[in-house]
Chains A and B, each alone.
Chain A
Amino acid sequence: MERRDFFTVMAGAAASISTMQAEAAAACLPGNVTRAQFRRFITDSANLLGSDHVVSDVDSLRPYARSMLPFEEAAHSPAAVLSVSSVDEVRSVLALARRSGVPLWPTSTGRNMGYGSMTVADPGTVVLDMRRMNRISDMDPVLGTVVVEPGVTYKQLQDFLKAEGHDFWLDFPGPGPIVSPLGNTLERGEGQTPYFDHFAHSVGYEVMLADGTLLRTGFGGIENTTSWQAFKYGYGPTLDGIFTQSNFGIVTRMGIELMPAPEAHRTGMAVWANEEDIAKAIDTIRPLRIDGTIGNSGTVGNSTIIASGVGRANLYTGEGAIPQDVTIKWAQDIGLGAWIYMFSVYGRQEKVDSDWAHIVSRFEASGAKVLADIDDPAAYNQLTLKSFELFKWKRSRGLIWFSPVAPARGEDVARQMTLAKEVMSRYGMDFMTGMTVTGRSTLNVMPIVYNKEDEDETRRARECMNALIDAFGEAGYGIYRTGVGFMDRVASHHGAVNLDVNQRLKRALDPDGILAPGKSGIRTC
């Protein structure tokens, strides 16, 4: 976007913001909490944390109600925001919350963009903002582990590692510099190096339960523990997983395994020309991922997501969803095709060379061409926000991530693509996808990019997401992650027993329902 265009758009956006501010209603209170109880909760919180760290007036709350999801702000707006700086403050706030019945929605840096940012599932829930808890501790350069609090960002952690002279890499999600490793891991986010599975590379959690109990998972409960960050599973049930995408506790610290910087690495791009090549592409990639020849999950992208930085208006001005033929032709004209796969290999130079040659031969045998030495910063420890170029597609603020999982079989992925394209087209939404090939599964992360200033388009985006969730659920496919406003619907497709067991755990660990009601569709009742 040119500078002049940018400021023209900014002026329009500012006018829109002013209108929204004028129309905004007073923040609603959590259910079953009287105004007097809430007022006392706020007063007590201000006495505890300092008034600078309690936000409860409507004007100051508005930025916290902003998200890219297709809902009116009042539907997911918090009633207040409390900014805490320590575990002791978290415990004290929990005591106030239990006494008053005010529920809390813990957040780290609130950058869960396209999944709800800092907004809450049930309106009136109070955001527990843990950005100020940003200490880095327990760096172990021998084992390559470190412990972070929720407010630490990847940029802060990378700066720390550089300043201390440690030669380790980090694995970043899309909003790398400004997002929390702890927060992204708890959402089970993914990145672009061999450590792409963030949950798999987390080790040892410190969790505050709703009653103020401080749990350390794994071997963290042993007095004078020597191995908290060395061994994930501990003794007895391994509990880490129940604190991800859940509302059973507040994770206040988390260990991270760090990737030793490899001697060499190389990134390439395989290109398949035609839309029907997707099954062939997946069946070629899968064995190379399962046997570890390709070192990272990489990303399979369709031509429309590749074109997002170009801007939709430069490619298509017709009605409805952009035809795939338009972006495929655009991609072919610049030497790409209907599908690309960005992949990387890592290790000693001779291994990289050997793996590279094998991969190229396999891809070429499948009919793809391979472009060598592509720059993919996130694949080699370089922080970037290039993923934000997605917003250039419509110069809009509307984004929903639809994230189904498929078995990594060509026929399944092709079936998902057909299904998604059909549903999206019905609602006039452009079909984009960027798939992570984990090995035996693919996470088909599909952005629904829409113009949030357009009421009709926002409604269609919301209905499209609901239709996708239902269509994929009925076809036997699960969703790996979703945002507020869609959580109950996604949960409903994962079985009544699963929901019931989650609810039993919730009642056992948080009987008052203080923590993040509605997260992943889980409530006490």
Chain B
Amino acid sequence: MLRIIVLFLAAVFTPSLSLGQAAGDWQSPEHIWNASCSYCHNSQVAPDIRGIPFETEFATTVVRNGFPGMPPFHTSEINNEELLALLDWIKQAEKPDPDEQAP
């Protein structure tokens, strides 16, 4: 019962939370992918890179410095720890279904 009351109070009095897109706010690597990367890399703007065993150091350089058609992503947006987790997640993700489309 106490737990229900606590949850109710939390729902009533906690300000509306939205998932931020700054360093430290990301919920998971998948959250970064869905909120940012997928708009190009899963929508035919840029190649889908999921499931590709790229070099982490190389990919880090590209993410931090940008690439033709891709802006740089700074440490205030995705910190180094989050970026490493993201790159691991991308490499380990299943290769995309050719018919799959992004939002």
Q: Give me the interface of A with B, judged by CB distance under 8 Å.
A: 1-3, 6-7, 9-10, 13-14, 17-18, 53, 55, 60, 62-64, 66, 81, 83, 109-111, 113, 117-118, 129, 131-132, 134, 136-137, 139, 151-153, 155-157, 159-160, 163-164, 175, 177-178, 382-386, 388-389, 391-392, 395-397
Contact = CB atoms under 8 A, between A and B. Distances in A.
Contacts of B71: 66, 111, 113, 117, 175, 178
A53 B74 CA distance: 12
7 nearest A-B pairs in the assembled complex, by CB-CB distance: A391-B69, A160-B18, A385-B39, A63-B72, A3-B47, A6-B47, A83-B76
Given A17-B65, A66-B66, A385-B39, A134 B22 contact: yes
A397 B74 contact: no
8 contacts: A7-B54, A60-B75, A131-B77, A132-B24, A134-B20, A175-B71, A177-B36, A392-B69
B67 A397 contact: yes
B67 A10 contact: yes
B19 A397 contact: no
Nearest to B58: A14
Given A6-B47, A178-B36, A383-B39, A156 B18 contact: yes
Interface in B21-38: 21-25, 35-36
Place the interface of chain B in its size category: 35 or more
A55 B75 contact: yes
B43 A386 contact: yes
A392 B86 CA distance: 25
B40 interface: yes
Contact of B39 (A63, A131, A151, A384): A384
Contacts of A384: 39, 43
B74 A63 contact: yes
Secondary structure dominating the interface of B: loop
A74 B67 CA distance: 19
A228 B65 CA distance: 41
Contact of A63 (B23, B24, B66): B66
Nearest to A2: B47
Given A6-B47, A134-B20, 14 more contacts: A1-B47, A6-B46, A17-B61, A17-B62, A63-B66, A111-B71, A132-B22, A132-B24, A156-B35, A160-B18, A178-B21, A383-B39, A385-B39, A388-B40
B45 A388 contact: yes
Contact of A132 (B23, B58, B69, B70): B23
- Which of A13, A53, A396 is packed against the most chain B CB atoms within 10 Å? A13
- Which of B15, B62, B71 is packed against the most chain A CB atoms within 10 Å? B71
Interface in B60-98: 61-62, 64-77
- Which of A6, A9, A139, A152 is packed against the most chain B CB atoms within 10 Å? A6
A499 to B, nearest CB: 32
Contacts of B69: 388, 391-392, 395, 397
Contacts of B72: 63-64, 66, 117
B73 to A, nearest CB: 8
A459 B46 CA distance: 28
A151 B74 CA distance: 13
Nearest to A21: B65
A62 B66 CA distance: 11
Given A134-B21, A391-B68, A1 B46 contact: yes
Contact of B18 (A159, A386, A388, A392): A159
B43 A385 contact: yes
A178 B39 CA distance: 10
